[in-house]
């Protein structure tokens, strides 16, 4: 199963990815983790990424896609993978599709966790108020509002992109965690 979980910050993508990983053996692939691993391993793409990051620049799409291309060849992803943090925009999605096409494969599905921004904001405010010793610096309503604005501007258009490709499966991300998992499994035919 080759999968992307899509949804705004706080929608529960990480939680659901971990559940799918634990139950089905799909590997959650974080682009940040993959970049760091490629640099540490000294791969050709990792060397390119290291030089770019050393200059304080963002790693371009083609380098990130190259790292994903290397990573999905590894034996531990034989049962499948869940991309985490990529793609973030339509240009990245197109680059990913081209790379996969070149390998003679494609994504199986993109599962979108549909959530209500207002409820997400209330949740984060409640969590921040209940956290003993103070919340993380980015675990507050103002930071979430900014992250949601960036998501809606840059990442939300992926819904239409993948719907047009017939790969989008929407689930109600506002349900209880176990129910969201059941909806994802049903959407994927698991």
* Secondary structure letter of residue 139 according to DSSP: -
Give the residues across from 82 on adjacent strands.
3, 28
User: Residue 58, class by beta-carbon neighbours within 10 Å (0-12 exposed, 13-18 middle, 19+ buried)?
Assistant: exposed
Residues carrying an active site annotation: 13, 88, 127, 136, 147
Say what the pTM is: 0.83
Superfamily of domain 2-183: P-loop containing nucleotide triphosphate hydrolases (3.40.50.300)
List pLDDT tens digits, range 3-22. 999 998 888 898 999 999 99
pLDDT at 113: 95
Rounded CA-CA distance 54/66 in Å is: 18
For every residue of 46-94, DSSP letters joined together read HHHHHHHHHTTPPPPHHHHHHHHHHHTTSGGGTT-EEEES---SHHHHH
Structure tokens at 156: 């939300």
Find how far residue 150's CA is from the centre of its chain. 15
pLDDT above 90 (res 186) = yes
Rounded CA-CA distance 190/186 in Å is: 6
Find how far residue 42's CA is from the centre of its chain. 24
pLDDT at 137: 56
List pLDDT tens digits, range 20-50. 999 999 999 988 788 888 888 888 888 888 8
* Secondary structure letter of residue 5 according to DSSP: E
pLDDT above 80 (res 116) = yes
pLDDT at 132: 61
pLDDT at 57: 78
List pLDDT tens digits, range 47-80. 888 888 888 777 888 888 988 998 999 999 999 9
Rounded CA-CA distance 48/65 in Å is: 12
Nearest CA among 123, 109, 115, 126 for reference residue 163:
109
Report the mean per-residue pLDDT for the chain. 88
Q: C-alpha dihedral over 62, 37, 161, 102, to 10 degrees? A: 60
Q: Please state whether the peptide bond connecting residue 87 to the residue before it is cis, i.e. omega within 30 degrees of 0.
A: yes
Structure tokens at 168: 């989008």
């Amino acid at each position: 199963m080759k999968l992307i979980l899509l949804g705004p910050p706080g929608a529960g993508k990480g939680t659901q990815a971990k559940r799918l990983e634990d139950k089905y053996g799909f590997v959650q692939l974080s682009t940040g983790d993959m970049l760091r691993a490629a640099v540490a391993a000294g791969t050709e793409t990792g060397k390119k990424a290291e030089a770019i990051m050393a200059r304080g620049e963002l790693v371009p799409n083609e380098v990130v896609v190259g790292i994903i291309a290397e990573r999905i060849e590894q034996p531990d992803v034989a049962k499948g993978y869940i991309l985490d943090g990529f793609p973030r925009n339509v240009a990245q999605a197109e680059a990913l599709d081209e790379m996969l096409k070149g390998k003679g494969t494609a994504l199986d599905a993109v599962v979108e966790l549909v959530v209500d921004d207002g409820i997400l904001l209330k949740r984060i405010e409640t969590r921040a108020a209940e956290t003993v010793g103070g919340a993380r610096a980015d675990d507050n309503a103002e930071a979430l509002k900014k992250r949601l604005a960036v998501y809606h501007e840059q990442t939300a258009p992926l819904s239409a992109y993948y719907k047009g490709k017939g790969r989008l499966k929407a689930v109600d991300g506002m349900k209880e965690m176990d129910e969201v998992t059941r909806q994802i499994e049903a959407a994927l035919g698991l």
